[in-house]
Amino acid sequence: MSLKRLLKEKRLIEKELSGYSESIELLEPVAFENFLKWRAVLKGPVNTPYHKHSFKLLIELPSEYPLVPPAITFEPYSMPHCNVEFSTGKICLNILEHEHWSPVWNLMYVMVALYQLLQEPVVDSPLNIDLANILRAGDTSAYHGLINYYLQEDTATH
Amino acid sequence: MTGTKPIKPTKLTMVSSICAICLDAIDKSIAKLEPCNHKYHIDCIRTWHNYSNDLNCPTCRIETNQLSVNIYPEIQSPPVKITLKTGFNINKIEEYCELIRRQPMHGTTGIRRNDYHPLLNEEESVIYEAISDEFEENYDSDMENDFDNSDLRVAELNESFGNILNINDDNEANNNPEELIGTFITKQNDLTPSKKQKQILQCSICGETNQEINICCQVCKIIYHDSCLRSLALETNEPATWMNCIQCFESVTAFKMPKIKDDNVFTFNSDEIMIYNGQIRDINSVLSQQLYEQTKVKSLEQLRIAKTQIQSHVRKALHELNKNATTSVDKIGINDFTKINKKVSRELYKISDYEYKSDDIDYDSEAMRLVLIELVNLGYMNHL
Ligand SMILES: [Zn+2]
Ligand SMILES: [Zn+2]
Ligand SMILES: [Zn+2]
Ligand SMILES: [Zn+2]
């Protein structure tokens, strides 16, 4: 099922991204000979501290895809977010878990879900405790400040 | 748990005539989950349910209880309902069909509608009834082609069974269905004229008809000796490819040659008997099995056409690369040319599901992509 479906997904993604996309800058296979590894660049949503930044993601598709979910991570040390482990880029999002995944979802759908996660962090299942604590305390300016600090740091070191 | 809020599906999955699992169009064999009415290919949804260990609809997540399958939407037959919870036991149906078919006096339609098998529950009887509709369909078209009236068919059947009884003095052979079919067809002195083409069951390479035949191609429905395939592969300097069918390049599988008495030749009517899952099978029983397995048995002719068309793209890519080669080192040698052509074409058949789909697939660029990979593997670096 896998390769043929991926071909179709690729074609449809190309079509969709040929116009303007609010959320996705890039979504494509890493190399022409390997459809099981993709890369993506997500745009930072407006009205969030991520705005005007973009974020790289690495996507690995298991050979059983779409029966099992894709494995997606942000680039390490690039995404300060409640539900992302900063040092590894590991994401906590239920639709990416085996027991919640559905084969009717696709890479495009997952990207949109990640974009929504940037808009609405979930404090109940944090992978970044610092950010979650500040957000729980309701200190919005400290929250924005810390994210900005991380993001600046990131731009400075790279 | 993060992000439990449902997200609107993207355009990819919104079109209803597309199966959201494989993204292919749903034309035949539409499987509708009930009660939510989301549609998938029967293969796709059953694979998923096997995998997910629940019966939820992958689109709306509602727990479903029934699958409504429209196998031939164009003839407006009532959909077959499969109760997902009890599961559907094809073996029972098959067993029954087989049983009925082996009865000498089963009449012209093969199966009578109201002969429900004691093993079948009500649900299964409905499915069974749908299948027998199928049989009647098939049979009717046979009738038009080959017989003036149904009595001839009965006469032929009786004649054949009479022959079995005459040939086999030892009755034990009658208990073995394979031998039964074997002798059934071996006896050639039919008094009933039949326009049907008789075929000989033989190795497609050497033409022998002996018991040693042990390999078949599921796609082409042809059989081989493994020794013939091996020596052919050696002759063409590709010993590793002996496991591939010489017509379609698909992997071959084991075949069980039916037992034949003495030096009789096994002949068969290709519209009654076929090679399926490594065995000689009655076409009707295969049909009923396929309703469930939905095996896409494309006709050989269709495959040939698809193959030729797909190969032309691969050749085009190879020729283009050779034309642009600046040095003689870059030129692709004849052996590599053949090898790449074969391998890439095979890959493309798989992607295309053995159909030529020029609307869906950009064959030129896919062929070029795959050819380049092969070239890199073979050390032709300058092409990149
Ligand atoms: Zn499907
Ligand atoms: Zn549904
Ligand atoms: Zn042979
Ligand atoms: Zn074949």
Q: Which of residues 42-71 of B touch A (CB under 8 A)?
A: 44, 47-48, 51, 58-59, 61
Average pLDDT for A71-76 = 96
Closest CA to A148 of A131, A132, A129, A136: A131
Q: Given a cut of 90, is residue A89 above it in pLDDT?
A: yes
pLDDT above 80 for B98: no
3-state secondary structure B277-315: CCEEEEHHHHHHHHHHHCCCCCCHHHHHHHHHHHHHHHH
pLDDT score of B237: 66
Give pLDDT tens digits for A8-29: 899 889 999 998 899 999 999 9
Task: Spell out the alpha helix ranges (H) of B192-299.
Answer: 226-235, 283-293
Mean pLDDT of B163-186: 34
- For residues B210, B216, B219, B222, the Cα torsion angle rounded to the nearest 10 degrees is -10
Over range A77-93, report the average pLDDT: 94
CA distances from B82 to A43, B85, B93, B128 (A): 46, 9, 13, 11
The structural domains of chain B, with segments of one domain joined by +, span 15-83, 86-201+258-295, 300-383
The backbone region for B218, taken as left when phi is positive above 0, alpha when psi lies in -120 to 50, beta otherwise, is alpha
Q: CB distance from B1 to chain A under 8 Å?
A: yes
CB A70 within 8 A of CB A109: no
- What's the rounded Cα separation, in Å, for the pair B194 and B270? 13
Q: What is the pLDDT of residue B108?
A: 38
User: Which of B4, B5, B12 is the best mutation test for A, with the most CBs of A within 10 A?
Assistant: B12
Does B264 or B375 have the greater pLDDT score?
B375
Strand partners, A55: A42
Residues B48-85: tens digit of each pLDDT? 887 777 788 999 988 888 888 775 555 555 666 766 66
Gap between the Cα atoms of B179 and B173, Å rounded: 6
Question: Cβ(B248)–Cβ(B303) under 8 Å?
Answer: yes
Percent of chain B residues topping a pLDDT of 90 = 4
* Closest of A91, A86, A103 to residue A149, by C-alpha: A86
- pTM of the shown model: 0.46
Question: Does residue B5 surpass a pLDDT of 70?
Answer: no
CA of A70 to nearest chain B CA: how many angstroms apart? Answer: 14
How long is chain A? Answer: 158
Average pLDDT value for chain B:
65
Contact A26, A35 (CB under 8 A): no
Which pLDDT belongs to residue B141?
40
**CA angle centred on B322, ends B321 and B324, rounded to 5°:** 65
State the ligand closest to the CA atom of B215: 3
Q: Give pLDDT tens digits for B310-361.
A: 889 999 998 888 887 777 667 888 888 888 888 898 888 878 877 788 888 8
Comparison of pLDDT for A50 and B198, the residue scoring more: A50
Residue B94 has pLDDT above 90, yes or no: no
Element (H, E) at A9: helix A2-17
Higher pLDDT, B329 or A30: A30
Q: CA dist A102 to A5, A13, B16, B139, Å?
A: 15, 19, 17, 42
List beta partners, residue A73.
Answer: A58, A90
Q: How far is the CA of B245 from the centre of ligand 4 (A)?
A: 4
Nearest to A117 among B1, B3, B360 (CB): B3
Which among B7, B23, B366 has the least Cβ separation from residue A8? B23
Amino acid at B131: I
Cross-chain CB nearest to A33 (options B22, B350, B373) = B373
Residue B274 CA to chain centroid, in angstroms? 10
Determine the pLDDT at residue B166.
Answer: 29
Cβ(B26)–Cβ(B42) below 8 Å: no
Long-range contacts: B135-144, Cβ < 8 Å, 24+?
B135/B109, B135/B110, B135/B111, B135/B284, B135/B287, B136/B109, B136/B110, B137/B75, B138/B283, B138/B284, B138/B287, B139/B108, B139/B109, B139/B110, B142/B271
Ranges of H-type helices in A29-103? none
The CATH superfamily of B15-83 is Zinc/RING finger domain, C3HC4 (zinc finger) (3.30.40.10)
pLDDT at B248 exceeding the cut of 80: no
Q: Which two tokens stand for residue B107?
A: 């009449």
The DSSP symbol for B11 reads G
Interface contact A112-B22, CB threshold 8 A:
no
* pLDDT at position B29: 67
Q: Cα-flanking dihedrals φ and ψ of residue A66, to 5°?
A: -95, 15
The residue that leads in pLDDT, B255 or B142, is: B255
Kindly name the residue from A40, A92, A111, A131 that is annotated as catalytic: A92
Question: Is the model more confident about B191 or about A113?
Answer: A113
Q: Would you state the pLDDT for residue B363? A: 92
A149: pLDDT strictly greater than 60: yes
* CA-to-CA separations, A59 to A85, A89, A105, B52, B375, in angstroms, rounded: 16, 12, 15, 22, 27
Residue A60 confidence (pLDDT): 95
Residue B43 has pLDDT above 60, yes or no: yes
pLDDT per residue over B104-162, tens digit each? 443 333 333 333 333 344 444 444 444 444 333 333 343 333 333 334 433 443 343 33
CATH top-level class of A3-157: alpha beta
Using a pLDDT cut of 70, give the percent of chain B over it. Answer: 50
**Residue bearing the bigger pLDDT, A91 or B361:** A91
Spatial neighbors of A20 by CB under 8 A, at least 6 apart, are none
Active site residue A92: yes
Q: How confident is the model at residue B230 (pLDDT cuts 50, 70, 90)?
A: confident
| Interval B25-37 mean pLDDT | 83
Mean pLDDT of A43-62: 94
Q: What is the DSSP letter of B259?
A: P
Q: How far apart are CA A59 and CA A37, in angstroms?
A: 6
Q: In this predicted model, which residue has the larger pLDDT, B98 or B206?
A: B206
What DSSP designation does B338 have?
A: H
With 50 as the cut, is the pLDDT of residue B13 above it? no
- One-letter amino acid identity for B141? S
Sign of CA dihedral B115, B117, B123, B129: negative
B254's enclosing H/E stretch is strand B253-254
Mean pLDDT over A64-73 rounds to: 94
Lowest mean pLDDT among B24-33, B227-236, B277-286, B355-364: B277-286
Q: What pLDDT, on the 0 to 100 scale, is given for residue A27? A: 96
CB A39 within 8 A of CB A107: no
Chain A CB within 8 Å of residue B359 CB: no
pLDDT at B73: 58
Kindly list the domain boundaries of chain A, sorted by start residue.
Answer: 3-157
